[in-house]
Structure formats: structure tokens, C-alpha cells
Chains A and B, each alone.
Chain A
Amino acid sequence: NAGVTQTPKFQVLKTGQSMTLQCAQDMNHNSMYWYRQDPGMGLRLIYYSASEGTTDKGEVPNGYNVSRLNKREFSLRLESAAPSQTSVYFCASSQGPGSPLHFGNGTRLTVT
């Protein structure tokens, strides 16, 4: 099983460019999450989707949008990238509230 797959693994953007980070899971999980991690910091929740068809804001949603495309896929979009969005982005999924989270290996984004 692939588990949680994130693409791309690395990306460099210029300020103002847009891009979409892709996430797909093959575990038939109901809930999916996007976190960011900055150097020396813990993970901070950006957005989550408790079930297909729903999305909710986390701690740091400003500057991001999400789409739960179907049960498998949950994408994160940066409409106008800023240097403050330089970070490692992790996608995770779980069977539902309370179930362990399964994480992807991250997308390393640099905004210059």
C-alpha cells in the first residue's frame, strides 16, 4: 500500500505565483488534513476535512484554500505565494475522528 502520497516532493515558487499541492490516500479514510511545519516548530493545522464534502479551517488557514475532490484526494492551493509560506507541508488521513493519523512524507516548498 502506498498510504498517503504527496506531490510534488519539492517546489520553488516566486512571490505571487500560485500552485496546488496534491494529496491522495488509498486507505479509504474519511478524514484528511493539511499541516505545515516550520524549522524548530511543531506542526500547525491549516485545513482539514472530517469527511467527504466538508472542509474546515485549522489554526493557520490564511493564504490557503483546499478542495476535497473525492474521498481519496485533498488538495491545498496557494493563490498568491508569499515568502512566509516557505515551509514543509504534510498531508494526513485518518479513518475518522479519534483514529490514528497517517502522514505523507511532505512537500518542501520555498517561496523566494
Chain B
Amino acid sequence: DAKTTQPPSMDCAEGRAANLPCNHSTISGNEYVYWYRQIHSQGPQYIIHGLKNNETNEMASLIITEDRKSSTLILPHATLRDTAVYYCIVSDFLTGANSKLTFGKGITLSVRP
């Protein structure tokens, strides 16, 4: 799996958009970008994944640059409950070639009132 780089922490104000960056400059053509989050020592929770097109679901949006070397997870209206560690993972997991995902240290998002 390609390596990802995330800043260790960031914060944002409640109600504002939270934009979480991730660099993955060595991503290969068949690798997807996945985002998970972990709230207060609970098990990680799947958020979203994408290959090259931007993706949106009820939780978040994923913006992937055209060269695919970086991406941004956007939480459009952050709430206090969004305070968590967010993991950006790059893997060919989806193709079935790789049966596992590797989690790094993630970025700690703190949402302030």
C-alpha cells in the first residue's frame, strides 16, 4: 500500500467546514483512498472512499486532486461529535488484490464550540 502523510492535528469551529488534508504522492493507479474515523477509543468507523472522482455521502465529501497525489476530506458542518482521529488510507484493497487495510496514526480533529 502507498504511504500517506497527514498532519498530526487540527481544529475547527462548530458549524464550520472541516477540511482534512492527506498526501499520498506514491499512490498507484489501482489504489483507492479510504477515510475512517475513531471517536474516543471506540472502533474505527468507515466514512468514504474514492478512486479519482470526487465522492459525497451523508457523512462527508472526498476531493481527490487530478494527479491523485493528495486528497481532502470535507465535513461540511462540523459538530462537537465529529471530534475524533481521522485516518486516510491508500490501498488496492478494493480490487481484491490486497485483503487488508493498513492504518497509520491519523489526524486528530478537535471541534471547538
Contact = CB atoms under 8 A, between A and B. Distances in A.
Interface stretch (B10-18, B36-44, B60-68): B36-44
Interface string A68-112: 000000000000000000001010100011101111111000000
Interface residues of B, number: 24
Contacts of A58: 100
Contacts of A104: 43
A98 B46 contact: no
Contacts of A88: 41
Q: Is the interface of B mostly helix, strand, loop or mixed?
A: loop
B53 interface: no
A99 to B, nearest CB: 8
A20 to B, nearest CB: 19
A54 to B, nearest CB: 9
A59 B102 CA distance: 9
A97 B98 contact: yes
A103 B44 contact: yes
B94 A103 contact: no
A40 interface: yes
Interface in A24-49: 31, 33, 35, 40-45, 48
25 contacts: A31-B99, A35-B103, A42-B87, A42-B105, A43-B44, A45-B100, A50-B99, A56-B99, A59-B102, A92-B43, A96-B96, A97-B97, A97-B98, A98-B93, A98-B95, A100-B46, A100-B49, A101-B36, A101-B44, A101-B46, A101-B101, A103-B44, A103-B45, A105-B43, A106-B42
Interface of B: 32, 36, 41-46, 49, 87, 93-106
